[in-house]
Every structure is written in structure tokens, then in C-alpha cells.
Structure 1
Amino acid sequence: MIKVNQIDSVKEFAKVQANLVSGGVVYGIIEGDTMKWVQSSDSFSLDVFHVGKKFDSNSTSLTSIREKRVLSQKVPRSAYGVRLLITSIPIVDEQGKAVGAFSMAIPRLHPVAKAFGNFAPILAEMFSEGVFLCLTDLQKFQYVQSSKQFDIDSITIGDEFGSDFISKEVISTGKAKVEKIDAVKYGTPVMMLGYPLIDEDSNEIVGSFVIAMPKETEAELRNMSGNLTESITGISSAIEELAASASQIHNNEQELNNDISQITELSEEINKISSFIEDIANETKMLGLNAAIEAARAGQAGSGFGVVANQIRKLSEQAKSTVPKIKKLTDNIEEKVDGSSKKSKGSLASSQEQAAATEEITASIEEITTMSEKLSEIALKL
């Protein structure tokens, strides 16, 4: 209890301490049922606590005076618009009679609000892209903390948050929420996480805690993913066309190789015919020679037949001389065909390798396309 002659000292003490109390405080001296003196912190005041205010008989201060004991009471928001812890200390005169009370009203803060000033600056530096933290009561922003990399200038202490701000839904539902906000509102894409703050005594929602993070990297990732998907789709189409062309080239090379094989076979047939002509020429020469011998034996009567025999031998010689020319031509044909055949086989093998390589590339492109689609899905979930 405080004695009447100590009141001036208590007032001086209150003036010094008012701005040292974390969260703020309102001190007051009540005489009878009326507030006679008030001292508030710069950061916290209550308009309802003013000089001349009359207190109800059930109030903490009058109960403390009546019962002549120190009394503390948790006052709900409905009483003064803010959750308070009010402590009253009776003031007694020389006879020990309680004639008043020294009261102090301290805003009753959620543990997160109490610790905000300690943990928020540390947490703000833990995010490489920056982060913005704020804490609200049921209507207004009470604490804010920005980082060097990121700040939301439009959110300031004391301002009421709008119906579209994440805290509104978090407080009304009592559930945490994640919300993605495009660049129109804050100048950059933002992801917000809101959590309800629940009073440990009454189990009532008393405010919200919000973490806002810039998501420029996510937006870039999403754009890159979209561009990658579009590019890969175009490449995939081109590869499919190349694969079709490679397949057609392979078929053409196969047909060419078959045609060359047939030419080789025809050349071999020509060689056989040449050999046959040579045999006939040899036999014809022998027949001409025999005819000439018989004509000589016949004398004058066989002279005409001898002329024919000579012509037959000449024709045989001419036919026989043609065979090497044909043989040389067919040899040249075979040589050319053999060279073409080797090239055709090499081209055929290359076209087969190209077709196989194209199929592998197509498979790789499909795999990359799948990865790109997954990348898009990841980006959308961020």
C-alpha cells in the first residue's frame, strides 16, 4: 500500500518509468471514485483514462480501495477497446484508511507481440531476398519490421488493414493462410503467410502475425519455365520432322542399294554373253578355216565358196575383237557400280545411324519436355 505522503514521489517515479515499460503503460491516481491524475507512455495511451473519469464500483481500482489490498485484473478488449492488465494499489491516510488507489494499465500483449522487437530484426536478415513482418490486433497494424532487401511502404503502424488484407480472413477464420499477390499491389510479386494470434487465457483470437516475402525469383522461374516449354516444343517438332526425313532418306538409300545390286547382276550377265560370243566367234573361225580348206580341194569349182569362207573368218575376227571391248566396258561398269555400291552401303549405314541418333534425340527432347512441365508445376506451387 501507498501512504498519502508518498504520492508525490510515486508521481515522479511514474513519469520516469512511463517510457521504459515495454509495450507502454498508463498510470493513474484515483481519489474516491474519480481519476485525479494521469501519466501515459508516449507509445501508449487510453482516451478513456482521463482526469475526471468516474469509475464503476465493480472496477479494479474501487474494488482494491474497498478491499484495501493490491489487486490485478485482466480486462477484456470489450471494456476499453484493448486487452489490459490493470493493477491497483490502495492509498491510505495516516489512520490507515484507504482513500484512493494508484493504478497502472498495461496493454496485455500476446507472447509474439512481446518478443517482436527481439526476434523480428533477426528474422528479417535470415531471408536472402528479404522479408517484411507485421503484427496486427483485430483492426490495426501494431508492429512492422522490414529488411534491407524488401519493404512494404504502404503498411505503417496505426493504420487499419483493409478487408482484402490477409489478416482479415486469418482473424475471421482462426486459420493460417498462404496468399500469392501479383506485382500490381506492391510493385513486385509477393507471397504472404498469415497466422492467427490466440490469447492463452481466453483462447480468443487477438490479432495476426504476417510474413511477406518477395517472389521475383518465382516469377522469373515461371516465365523461364514457360519459355523453355515453348522452345522445347518447337525443337521437338523440328526433330520429329528430321526423324521423318531421316527415315525417308534411309528408305531411298535402301532402294538405291537394291538398284545397284541389280545393275551388278546385269553386268555379270553381259560378261556371260560376251563369253558366249567369243566362243561362237572361235567356232565360226574354225568353220571358215575348214571351209577354205575344202574349197581349195575342190579347185575352180570351190572358188566361190572359198570367198565366202574368207568373209566368215573376217566376221569371226571382228566378233572376237569386239568381245574385249565389251569386256572392258563391263569391267568399267562393274568398277563404277562397285564404287557406287560401297558408297551406297556407307550412305545406308550413315542413314541408319542418323535415324537411330534422331530417335535418341527425340527421346531426350521428350524427357526435357517432361522436366520442363514439372518445372512449370513447381513454379506454380511456389
Structure 2
Amino acid sequence: MNSDNQTILDKVAAVLPLVHRAFDGEIGVALADNEKFLLYHPAKDLDFRTKLNTPPFKEGSAVDILIRKKLPYLKMDMDEQLHGFPYRVMAVAIYNDNKEIIGAIIISQSLDQQATLKNMAGNLLNSISTLASTAEEITAQSEEMAGITRTLAETAKDSQKQILETNRVLGFIKEIANQTNLLGLNAAIEAARVGEQGRGFGVVAEEIRKLAANSTESISKINVIISGIQSDSAVNYNQIEQVEVGISQVTEAIAHMAAATQELRAMAHLLDEKAENF
């Protein structure tokens, strides 16, 4: 190697340790001529145990490909099969004044953190997808329950209206029974006033009064039953209304959760992109 080429490589060799220090050892730096490695500072978490001044280069390595193919720059991402973890190697050609390649700077960097980030992003995306699917399913079920609850509420409301209508009919029947009882009483009075000739009419009048009394008693019993039904119906209606409000609140909360899930999905995609470009 002529002295000019050696001078260039010596100057690069003087700078590379400073570069390694500037990155706090997060990257590995190496210097090679066209045959062998001249300098090597490994990264904290990536050490190839490169031997210096021992040609030739490992066949298929980044520096080997760059020198043989006379490339200005080469980047290679390697998976974990070779060293147990993924890493990246970048080789940059060094030229002399005649535009000839006289060596290369090699920078190495572990991609273990990148792989971890990508795995985290992938797991996060899977979890978010499951959460989104579950939220959609719950939303659909909540909407179905809300529809059923609305139908029940309307049915309960209609039942209350029918009960009120029944009360009005019973009130009318009770009024008729009272009037019938009054007529029977008047008939009995008239039969007694007439004497022996009105005895048969008096028997009929007494039966009319008994019928009116029985009707009034039956109406009272029906009123008790109707009142119980009305009370239960009112309680059921109130409970159904509370359930409807609760379902509405759940649906609203799920909608907020779905919106938050979409934001998380976007963040997970961004994390995956950042890991890819790490």
C-alpha cells in the first residue's frame, strides 16, 4: 500500500474511536483496508470478536461484498439466526485521490431493541384488535338489549293505561251497583207500604239488593287485585326505565372505549413504523 493511501487510513483510524465514544458505545466501528481489518471497537451489546490484520474477510460479509463489488455504500440487516439476535451492518467505502477504493468504514448496531419494539407493537395490535372486536360485539348486544328494553317499557306503559281503563270500567259498574242497591231499597219500601199485595215484589227487591251487594263486594276484591297489579306494573316500568338508562350509559361508555381503541391502534401502527425505521 502506498504512503498516501496509508495516510488516509491513518487519519480515519484516528477519528473512529471518537465516533465510537460519541455514540457511547451504542454502535460498533471498524476500519479495514482492501484485505483485512485494521481497527475494531465493538458495541456494548454486539461484539463480533473481529481479529485485526488477519486476512481474508469472511465471505459474504458486508465489507467483503463492498470491496469485491466496488460499492460506495452497503447496508445489511441480519436476523437472529447467526448470532442469536438481529443486527445491522453498514459499510462505507474510503476513496483515495484517484477515486479508488482503498478500504472501508464498517458500523455495526444491534437491532434487538428494534425487534423488541416490533414484537411489542405486534402484540399490542393483536390485543387492540381483540378488544375492538369484543367492543363491537358488546355494542351490538347492548343495542339489541336496548331494543328489547324499549319494547318492554312500551308494553308496561300500555299495561298501565289498560289498568287505568279497567279502573274506570269498574268505577262505572260500581256506580251501577250502588244505583241498583238504591232501587232495590226503594222497591222494598214500596212493597212494605203496599202490604200483602206487594210481598212478591218485596222478595224480588231483596234479591236485587243482594245482587247489588255481591257486585259491590266483587268489585272491591277486583279493585284490590287491580291495585296490586298496578303497583307491580309501576315498579316494573320504573325498573325497566332504569335498565334502559343503564344500557344507554354502557353503550356510550363502549363507544368511548371504541374511540380510544382506534387511537391506540394508530399509536401501535406508529410504534411499529418507528421500530421499522429504527
Give the TM-score normalised by structure 2. 0.90
1:187 to 80, 84, 88: 84
Query: 2:163 maps to which residue?
Result: 267
Distance 2:93 2:50 in 1: 22
Query: 2:257 maps to which residue?
Result: 361
What are the ranges of 5 or more consecutive residues in structure 2 without an aligned counterpart?
none
Q: 1:249 Cα shift?
A: 1.4
Query: 2:242 maps to which residue?
Result: 346
Query: 1:125, 1:147 within 8 Å by CA — same for their partners in 2?
Result: no
Distance 1:155 1:258 in 2: 86
Say whether residues 1:310 and 2:206 are aligned partners. yes
Tell me the SS of whatever aligns to 1:234: helix
Query: 1:372 maps to which residue?
Result: 268
Q: 1:109 Cα shift?
A: 2.3
User: For 1:4-19, what aligned pairs fall within 5 Å after superposition?
Assistant: none
What are the ranges of 5 or more consecutive residues in structure 1 without an aligned counterpart?
1-81, 86-106
Distance 1:364 1:128 in 2: 38
Query: 1:235 maps to which residue?
Result: 131
Query: 1:221 maps to which residue?
Result: 117
1:289 to 168, 185, 189: 185
Distance 1:110 1:316 in 2: 131
Distance 1:122 1:344 in 2: 75
Which amino acid in structure 1 is aligned with residue 233 of structure 2? V
Q: 1:319 Cα shift?
A: 1.5
Query: 1:319 maps to which residue?
Result: 215
- Encode CA deviations 1:347-368: one digit per residue, 9 max, x unaligned: 1011111111112212221221
Say whether residues 1:120 and 2:9 are aligned partners. no
Tell me the SS of whatever aligns to 1:125: helix
Q: 1:217 Cα shift?
A: 0.6
Query: 1:110, 1:198 within 8 Å by CA — same for their partners in 2?
Result: no
User: For 1:21-60, what aligned pairs fall within 5 Å after superposition?
Assistant: none
Tell me the SS of whatever aligns to 2:29: strand
Is the deviation greater in 359-368 or in 155-164? 155-164
Is the deviation greater in 314-323 or in 354-363? 314-323
Say whether residues 1:138 and 2:57 are aligned partners. no
Query: 2:13, 2:31 within 8 Å by CA — same for their partners in 1?
Result: no
Distance 1:381 1:147 in 2: 20
Tell me the SS of whatever aligns to 1:134: strand
Query: 2:74 maps to which residue?
Result: 177
Which amino acid in structure 2 is aligned with residue 186 of structure 1? H
Which amino acid in structure 1 is aligned with residue 61 of structure 2? F
Tell me the SS of whatever aligns to 2:6: coil
- Encode CA deviations 1:143-200: one digit per residue, 9 max, x unaligned: 222245432114543222244222244343533232211122233211112111111x
Distance 2:43 2:17 in 1: 8
Structure 2 CA distance for partners of 1:128 and 1:248, relative to 1, 3 Å: farther
Q: Kindly indicate which of the two structures has a greater share of residues assigned to strand.
A: 1
Tell me the SS of whatever aligns to 1:191: strand
The structure number with the bigger radius of gyration is: 1
Distance 2:72 2:146 in 1: 65
Tell me the SS of whatever aligns to 2:57: coil
Which amino acid in structure 2 is aligned with residue 254 of structure 1? R
User: For 1:143-158, what aligned pairs fall within 5 Å after superposition?
Assistant: 143-158=39-54
**Higher relative contact order structure (alpha carbons within 8 Å, sequence separation ≥ 6):** 2
Q: 1:278 Cα shift?
A: 0.9
Q: 1:306 Cα shift?
A: 0.4
Which amino acid in structure 2 is aligned with residue 114 of structure 1? D
Which amino acid in structure 2 is aligned with residue 237 of structure 1? S
Query: 1:284, 1:313 within 8 Å by CA — same for their partners in 2?
Result: yes
> What do you get for the CA RMSD once the two structures are aligned?
2.1
- Encode CA deviations 1:268-313: one digit per residue, 9 max, x unaligned: 0111111011111111012212221332243222211101101111
Structure 2 CA distance for partners of 1:248 and 1:155, relative to 1, 3 Å: farther
- Encode CA deviations 1:40-87: one digit per residue, 9 max, x unaligned: xxxxxxxxxxxxxxxxxxxxxxxxxxxxxxxxxxxxxxxxxx2x13xx
Query: 1:68 maps to which residue?
Result: none
Which amino acid in structure 1 is aligned with residue 131 of structure 2? I
Say whether residues 1:212 and 2:117 are aligned partners. no
